[in-house]
Amino acid sequence: MINYAIRPEQSGDEAAIHDLVRRAFEPMWFSDGSEPDLVDALRAAGDLALSLVAVTAQGGVIGHIGFSPVTIDQRECGWFQMAPVSVLPELQLKGIGSALIAAGIAAMRRVGARGVAVVGNPAYYERFGFRTIPGLSPLADHDAQYFRAQDFDAAPPSGVLRYAPAFG
């Protein structure tokens, strides 16, 4: 078992996060290698609304999750995109990603977010309460089949969800 803690990103973590995200996505067939730069661009734009790291007792960054604001039908509405999620390849499948996702969702609820969307393997993300919401769709058609969301309100929104500009 690995001992680690989850905490918000601090000043000085940036390079370690960049390196971790690079290493996590490098082996993935669907990755174009843009994920580490995406995190940097979100941060630079002030759009990294929540950035959590998993760190070992020695301070090594072994996991990361980021959340950024989205619009629905071009309105800011308290919704966020959960991306990217990264765990060091040699430490994957040990529950670190799940712990980051759970901590991230709990933190977003605490700060009053109204919902979170994700693009990824539905078999994985549906474990955390993500589902299809009728009438809520991503801007890009190619994301549609991997797009899931969870609303924290009684009334789920509908419309076209657009990610932060750093996503391109």
Ligand X SMILES: CC(C)(COP(=O)(O)OP(=O)(O)OC[C@H]1O[C@@H](n2cnc3c(N)ncnc32)[C@H](O)[C@@H]1OP(=O)(O)O)[C@@H](O)C(=O)NCCC(=O)NCCS
Binding site for ligand X (CB under 6 A): 24-25, 28, 84-87, 92-98, 120-121, 123-124
Best CA proximity match to 133, nearest among 121, 148, 113: 148
CB of 123 to ligand X, least distance (A): 5
The residue whose Cβ lies closest to ligand X is 97
- β-sheet bridge partners, residue 153: none
Helices and strands (DSSP H and E) totals, the chain: 4, 8
- Choice between 128 and 135, CB closer to ligand X: 128
CB of 124 to ligand X, least distance (A): 4
CB of 128 to ligand X, least distance (A): 10
- Choice between 63 and 69, CB closer to ligand X: 63
Task: List all residues 6 or more positions away from 4 whose beta carbon is below 8 Å from its beta carbon.
Answer: 54, 55, 56, 57, 62, 63, 96
